[in-house]
Amino acid sequence: MARKKLIAANWKMYKTPQQAQAFARAFRPLISKTRHEIVLCPPFIDLAALGAALRGTKIKLGAQNLFWEPEGAFTGEISAAMLKAAACSYVIIGHSERRQFFGETDDSVNRKLRAALQAGLAAIVCVGEQLAEREAGKTEAILQRQCEVGLRSVPADHARRIAIAYEPVWAIGTGRTATPEIAAAAHLHIRDQMTRIFGGEAAARMRIIYGGSVKPENAAALMAEEEIDGALVGGASLDPKSFAAIVNH
């Protein structure tokens, strides 16, 4: 089944609102002919400025995180409704850095996912193994657990608004990249999990994208794999020309 490629930029903790607007001005003309779905996920402080700069384009706005409660005494958190009000259509959930530095678990990923979907957001749910887990032969077991728990109690008719991002933790920010064959094998295993959870038809429509040191130099080889439906791009998405080269691979 043909699936439209999804290319998402995760800017992490980079760029002021002014820098975000400058990026948009430089980036928009570089990808005017793309047929892929493009999402930019800046820090929260940039959402209003970047949303205004993207108005009238097909480029979508996303956030890097959210909290599962609709409102309340949760200092420093952002709700799904707030993201919708800021013109977001996507949100990243469970990124490896959130798991590593801020205590995210498969259970919290699940709660955030259900809150996002209930609010009408599309979600990019991140899964992936650490180097020690891969070397111990636990990759498939880790991915199965993350999928089963992270997508627990999500109705099958919501699957179309979920993309899974496979990000081998050992390849994030390290300059190391899983070979296209390694990435494709992991994606195939993840799709098998989606089939178990949502059924074959819904799973066949879901996009499974790769995240882990994606650069202009390796994007074409990764995207050529049938099971790789796009990319979640970190450092290489901070420069408009670099990110455009990935989009236009």
Active-site annotation, residues = 95, 167
Give the contacts of 233 (CB within 8 A, at least 6 positions apart). 7, 8, 9, 10, 211, 214, 243, 246
Residue keyed to tokens 């990935």? 246
Round to whole Å and give the CA distance between 201 and 184.
Answer: 20
Torsion of CA 73, 78, 81, 83, to 10 degrees: 160
